[in-house]
Amino acid sequence: MRWRNSSTHYGLTSIVLHWLVAAAVFGLFGLGYWMVGLTYYSSWYRTAPDLHKSIGLVLFLVMLVRVLWRFVSPAPGPLASQGRLTQAAAKLGHSVLYLGLFLVMMSGYLISTADGRAISVFGLFDVPALITSIPNQADTAGLVHEYAAWALVILAVLHALAALKHHFIDRDATLRRMLGRNPG
Amino acid sequence: MLKKTLAALVLGSALAGGQAFAADYAIDKEGQHAFVNFKISHLGYSWLWGTFKDFDGAFSFDAAKPAESKVNVTLKTASVDTNHAERDKHLRSDDFLNVAKHPTATFESTSVKPTGDGTADITGNLTLNGVTKPVVIAAKFIGEGKDPWGGYRAGFEGSTTLTLKDFDIKMDLGPASQTVDLIISVEGVRK
């Protein structure tokens, strides 16, 4: 398989980025949901949030690469079998997923850096605080983070259901394309 | 203005029957010579200190009749500050202070019992996290007198210990951290 996308096929770069982000989104959601309920004496009480933040910041880098890659190697066009409305819905859905991802990541970053503290990424390097002046920053960003995260996973589930619908009902190449298994 | 003051004085002395009467003081919120601090044990190894930045209140006090003193304080629980934004966010959540549901805490004294030279036990109702319970604040009179700017001030310190579970605070911070000490220092400006 090629690294780059063609007009009909996703290349390895886009495919790997897509599934990495998918795994991170659901993993981070689960981790986040679980960690806020931990008891104080749990051995994960400190490590789970550290992991959540570290993975989240790495995901931010991955998403930057992913957006850049769209310009370097544009995604293949829509399948000819899909109607106008389907194409428009897909385009809108994908845009909202991208926006949602950045909203969740940035709001999360703003919680932890609200009073100027840096975030340590796996203890390897620190990401400094840049914005500390939003009123009630930790709380406001916290609310945005929570609601946006819920919206994002719900949308991601709809996105997955739509892919399955294309695969099993429409029997088109939408899902196979993203698995690198469409012929030609 | 002068008329009003005179009227208040006449009315005041009429009510007090010519005797000395307790003066009313407003907590000096403007100059913030007032603190509601707290400390709670961290794992039994150190003290975690915090403060509530936004509160207001009033008291009446007469050094000759301390038992007739009264005090009330209203505090915005969202103003909790422990020098750590992420922790403060957690403290405001329903694991602790539940500030969305219970934005204010209040204390209203019900009796003041002098216990010695300049000290007294102030009993009153504390409402915190929607729970009202009587608490006793061990108070100490610090001083009173004219300030350099034409006012008259009196100040106190006090402390009490609250059991977190008594006020429905859900989070369990471990065996060493079941209670929190409140350390209060207020200065009032005579009205």
Contacts of A112 in chain B (CB under 8 A): 86
CB contact under 8 A, A115 and B92: no
Kindly determine whether residue A112 and residue B172, on different chains, have CB atoms separated by under 8 Å: no
Nearest residue in B to A38, CA atom = B171
Q: What is the pLDDT of residue B4?
A: 55
A40–B173: do the CB atoms touch at under 8 Å? yes
In this complex, the residue of B83, B89, B171 whose CB is nearest that of residue A142 is: B89
Report if residue A27 sits inside a domain: yes
Asked if residue B175 belongs to a domain, the reply is yes
Domain contains A95: yes
CA atoms of B158 and A11, how far apart (whole Å): 70
Q: Do B174 and A117 touch (CB under 8 A)?
A: no
Of B86, B89, B174, the CB nearest to A40: B174
**By the 8 A CB rule, do B121 and B112 touch?**
yes
Other C-beta atoms within 10 Å of B186: how many? 24
Dihedral Cα A27, A165, A90, A147, nearest 10 deg: -40
Residue B14 has pLDDT above 90, yes or no: no
Are A138 and B171 inside 8 Å of each other by CB?
A: no
Query: B131-146 and A125-127: which strand pairing?
Result: unpaired
Domain range for B91 is: 19-190
Distance CA(B86)–CA(A46), nearest Å, equals: 13
Can you tell me the mean pLDDT for B105-116?
Answer: 97
Structural domain contains residue A6: no
Say which of A41, A138, A142 has its CB closest to residue B174. Answer: A41
Give the integer Cα–Cα distance in Å for B82 and B42.
13
A117 interfacial to chain B (CB closer than 8 Å) = yes
**Number of structural domains, chain B?**
1
Q: Which of B40, B80, B86, B94 best probes binding to A when mutated, by most A CB atoms within 10 angstroms?
A: B86
Tens-place pLDDT, residues B142-160: 999 999 999 999 999 999 9
Predicted confidence at residue B17, as pLDDT, reads 41
Interface contact A43, partner B, CB < 8 A: no
B79 contacts on A by Cβ (under 8 Å): none
Question: Do A11 and A4 contact (CB within 8 A), yes or no?
Answer: yes
B2 located within any domain: no
Q: Which residues pair with A90 in a beta bridge?
A: none
Three-state SS sequence of B145-179 = EECCCCCEEEEEEEEEEEEHHHHCCCCCCCHHHCE
- How buried is residue B128: exposed, middle or buried, by Cβ count under 10 Å (0-12/13-18/19+)? buried
Closest-CA residue in chain B for A108?
Answer: B86
Show the CA angle centred on residue B98, arms to residues A145 and A37, nearest 5°.
55
- DSSP character at residue A109: H
Task: Answer for the pair A172, A82: CB distance below 8 angstroms, yes or no.
Answer: yes
Write down the pLDDT at residue A182: 85
Amino acid at B20: A
Identify which of A40, A114, A138 has the shortest CB distance to residue B172. A40
Q: Provide the total of helices (H) and of strands (E) in chain A, helices listed first.
A: 5, 2
- Does residue B169 lie in a domain region? yes
Asked if residue B11 belongs to a domain, the reply is: no
Contact A158, A100 (CB under 8 A): no
Taken as a whole, chain B contains a residue count of 191
CATH code where residue A91 lies:
1.20.950
**Residues of chain A by 3-state class (helix, strand, coil), percent to 5:** 65, 5, 30
| A117 contacts in chain B (CB < 8 Å) | 84-86
For residue A60, give its domain range: 12-178
Q: How many domains does chain A have?
A: 1
Q: Is residue A5 part of a domain?
A: no
Judge whether A2 and A19 are in contact, CB under 8 Å.
no
Residue A3: inside a domain, yes or no? Answer: no
Any domain includes A124:
yes
Select from B83, B92, B171 the Cβ nearest to the Cβ of A139.
B92
Assign residue B86 the CATH number of its domain. 2.40.128.110
Closest CA to A59 of A104, A13, A111: A104
Percentage of chain A with pLDDT > 70? 99
Neighbours of A9 (CB within 10 A): 18
- Of B78, B85, B173, nearest to A115 by CB-CB distance is B85
What is the C-alpha to C-alpha distance for residues B45 and B183, in angstroms, rounded to an integer? 20
pLDDT tens column, A49-67: 999 999 999 999 999 999 9
Q: Is residue B13 domain-resident?
A: no
Position B50 in a domain: yes
Phi/psi-derived region of residue A180, left when phi > 0, alpha when psi is between -120 and 50, beta in every other case: left
Residue A73 lies in a domain: yes
On whether residue B1 sits in a domain, the answer given is no
Position A141 in a domain: yes
* pLDDT, tens digit, 9 for 90 and up, residues A100-110: 999 999 999 99
Q: How far A150 CA lies from chain B's nearest CA (Å)?
A: 18
Residue B29 lies in a domain: yes
Report how far apart, in Å, the C-alpha atoms of B134 and of each of A39, B66, B107, B117, B160 are.
Answer: 29, 20, 9, 24, 11
Interface predicted TM-score of the whole assembly (ipTM), two decimals: 0.88
- b/e burial code for range A45-66 (CB count within 10 A of at least 16 → b): eeebbbbbbbbbbebbebbeeb
Chain B interface includes A114 (CB < 8 A): yes
A67-85 tens-digit pLDDT: 999 999 999 999 989 899 9
pLDDT of residue B169: 97
